[in-house]
A and B are shown apart, each in its own frame.
Chain A
Amino acid sequence: MASALINVPARARRGEIIEVKTLISHPMESGHRRSQLGALIPRDIIRLFVCTYNGTEVFRAELHPAIAANPFVVFSTVATESGTIAFHWTGDNGFSVTESVAITVG
């Protein structure tokens, strides 16, 4: 159901600052909206996004209901070595998605 789109350059020079773009499909239900019957729709959001580069955390974002549906986060990191960049989203109702991409640094 949940699918993530990740854009990272496949290869980079050592020490280069690369831009990482991530998008994940999620409704980000804020918990402030009401259904047509007037009942409050319970909150269902992604709370945390963490990016690790070969196991070392390089970026983290704590999300609140004010983040638009399908959270889109763009950040940067330094291409230090070849390996994998992993992305982990966790949220309400046991939401948990992990994706990773490979990068070659030369």
Chain B
Amino acid sequence: MKRPTSRRQFLLAAGGAVAGFGLASVVHVKPARATPAAMQEAIRKVVGPASVNTGKVTLELPPLVENGNTVPLAVSVESPMTEADHVRTIHVFTEKNPLPDVVSFRFGPRAGRASVATRIRLTDTQTVVAICELSDGSFWSGSAAVVVTLAACLEDV
């Protein structure tokens, strides 16, 4: 014999439905700039489930940047760069730029030396992270903190 729904059961069910709807309707608002969490997500996308060790990567950036529109960046990794032991990739990420990715370099043993330099844009005072993948599949990271006085990306044309 089926019992009629009690008041308590009805309220519980209704409350659950409302809570479920409330959770589902929380809209994910994309921030105007990347956050450290977005950078971690971007790093995860590159690294996958592997763990990232600290070391081996030297990231050179000026500690104080007057103009974030061109910031000299140099990355190097200690590696013999032989067929058996070389650097496959170096990725650079930022915490607070609109997008966390900055640049990805791909090398082979023909590179001779795992060392690159370029110029990047920085929108705020933040930490820049470089991650390299070695030919044995391990990941290593290095970082540099930068103070930016004039931000890139924000000026009008």
Stretch at the interface among B8-16, B50-58, B112-120, B130-138: B112-120
B112 touches A71 (CB 8 A): no
Nearest chain B residue, comparing its CB with the CB of A75: B116
A62 touches B103 (CB 8 A): yes
By size class, the interface of chain A is: 20 to 34
A78 touches B97 (CB 8 A): no
For residue B111, CB closer than 8 A to chain A, the reply is: yes
Q: How far is the CA of A78 from the CA of B65 in the complex (A)?
A: 33
Q: Mark A47-84, 1 if CB is under 8 A from B, else 0.
A: 00000010011111111111111011111111010000
By size class, the interface of chain B is: 20 to 34
For residue A104, CB closer than 8 A to chain B, the reply is: no
In whole Å, how far is B129's beta carbon from the nearest beta carbon of chain A? 13
Q: Mark A23-64, 1 if CB is under 8 A from B, else 0.
A: 000000010111110000100000000000100111111111
For residue B36, CB closer than 8 A to chain A, the reply is: no
From A62, A68, A74, contact of B71 by CB (8 A) = A68
Given that A30-B98, A66-B101, A78-B111 are contacting pairs, would A59 and B118 also be in contact in the complex, using a CB cutoff of 8 Å? no
For residue A17, CB closer than 8 A to chain B, the reply is: yes
Kindly list chain B residues whose C-beta atoms are within 8 Å of the C-beta of A56: 110
Task: Give 5 pairs: A residue, B residue, CB < 8 Å, sorted on A.
Answer: A66-B103, A68-B120, A69-B70, A74-B118, A78-B112
